[in-house]
Structure 1
Amino acid sequence: MTALGILHPGHFAEDDYPRIEQLLGSDIRVDLVRTDAGEDAYRAGAPLGSGSAERLAEGVERLRLAGAETVVWASTCTGSPHGWEGAQEQVRTLARLAGMPASSTSFAFVHAAREIGVRRVAVGAACPEEVTGRFADFLRAGGLEVTGVRSAGTATAAQAAAWGEEEVLALARAADAPGAQAVVLPDTALHTAAHLPMLEKALSKPVLTAHQVTVWEGLRLADRRVNAPVLGTLFTREPLVQA
């Protein structure tokens, strides 16, 4: 059994994680701990407090007691606005607090793009343009080329969490560009786990979404690969051969 620890700000779209755990269909357990998200607003600067060391520390003890082997901070709004160096320091702090390998969803997107061999990505986010733009800058700092950015401009995570398949597909299509090798949907408040096969079929290219890459990042930290095509191209890599 491999136990993955997820620190999730608030409760929006958190039900994607048990869905992903079920879809993995193997000896993978996803332990989810909610942290205080503070203000439910996408405006620039509003979400930063939810990623503070004090709030992260509140959840790591519960993950340790649950037996988690890795921990991923499931947020892009509170990772990428710090910039690349600031986000690295945030992850180092998390690893020190948790006493286990740690990462964040922001870094997970960069690592996932490298895993599937893409460098040019289009970004489609529900959040406002300024927040989306900061995330795009983060991807560029990670060595990716952002071919285009599309923002839906929703004001709160609650609004994004209420979206269904139709709205998510519309966002992905609006963000897509001919030069993009993959489409990135960074919002952790969006329900996407059930839509991945549809999204990739509609766009004819890989789609990377927040909860998908967060779980994959936890597995990467644990040196595990799981073949689960229902979770998209990212999960079609062959599992590591165990000696």
Structure 2
Amino acid sequence: MTALGFLYPGHSAEDDYPRIEQLLGSDIRLDLVHTGRCEDTDRAHPLGRLGAPEPLAAGVEELRLSGAEAIVWACTSGSFAYGWEGAHEQIRALAMAAGMPASSASFGFVHAVQEIGVHRVAIGAAYPDETAELFADFMRAAGVTVTGVRSSGTGTAAAAGGWGERELFELAGQADRTDAEALLLPNTALHTVAHLPALEKERGKPVLTANQVTVWEALRLTDRRVNAPKLGSLFTREPIIQV
């Protein structure tokens, strides 16, 4: 049994995680602990407080006692808002507090893009414009070419969590670019897991979503590889060898 731990902000799309656990169909357990939620995602400062060491450390002990082998901070905006260097410092502090490998949803996107071997991506963000651009800057810092950014103007996790299939597919269609090799939808408050195969079929390319890459990142930290086609092409590809 491989136990993976997640620190998830508030209550929006956490039901994606039991769905993912079921679709993995193997000896993998996903343990989720809730942290505080920041309702105002319009500025970087509240997002920074959301990912501060104290709120994150509060859930670490519970995950340690659950037997987690790795921990991922399941909040994209609460990690990329710190910038490239600050996000690295955040996960280093989390790993030290937890005594185990740690990462965040933002680095999950970086590593997932590397895994599928693409270099040019489009971004569809259920964030305000300013926050969406912060995520684009984070991906650029990782050496990824961002061909376009589309933001929905959604200001809270609660609002994003209320989205259905229609809103999700509208954002994906508006954000996608013909010159993008993959489409990124970075918000763990969005319910996306049930729609991954349909999204990729409609867009004709890999679609990476926040809760999907967060779980994949935890598996990467524990050197587990699972073939789960219903979780999108990220979970069906052979590993890319970095040279």
Normalised to the residue count of structure 1, the TM-score between the two structures is 0.96
Secondary structure of residue in 1 paired with 2:82:
helix
The answer as to 2:30 corresponding to 1:42 is no
Over residues 120-173 of structure 1, what are the superposed CA-to-partner deviations in whole Å (9 max), with x where a residue is unaligned? 000001110000000000000011000000000012111111111111011011
Q: In the alignment, is the contact (CA less than 8 A) between 1:21 and 1:28 conserved in 2? A: yes
The answer as to 2:140 corresponding to 1:140 is yes
Matches within 5 A, 1:73-222: 73-222=73-222
Secondary structure of residue in 2 paired with 1:79:
helix
Counterpart residue number, 2:223? 223
Partners of 2:54 and 2:41 in 1: CA distance: 21
Partners of 1:120 and 1:28 in 2: CA distance: 32
> What letter corresponds to residue 49 of structure 2 in structure 1?
G
Number of aligned pairs?
238
Offset of residue 189 of structure 1: 0.6
Matches within 5 A, 1:1-20: 1-20=1-20
Partners of 2:56 and 2:126 in 1: CA distance: 24
> What letter corresponds to residue 60 of structure 1 in structure 2?
V
Q: In the alignment, is the contact (CA less than 8 A) between 2:47 and 2:81 conserved in 1? A: no
Secondary structure of residue in 2 paired with 1:78:
helix
Q: In the alignment, is the contact (CA less than 8 A) between 1:226 and 1:238 conserved in 2? A: no
Q: In the alignment, is the contact (CA less than 8 A) between 1:31 and 1:63 conserved in 2? A: yes
Offset of residue 77 of structure 1: 1.1
**% identical equivalent positions:** 65
Over residues 97-135 of structure 1, what are the superposed CA-to-partner deviations in whole Å (9 max), with x where a residue is unaligned? 000000000000000000000110000011100000000
Offset of residue 78 of structure 1: 1.3
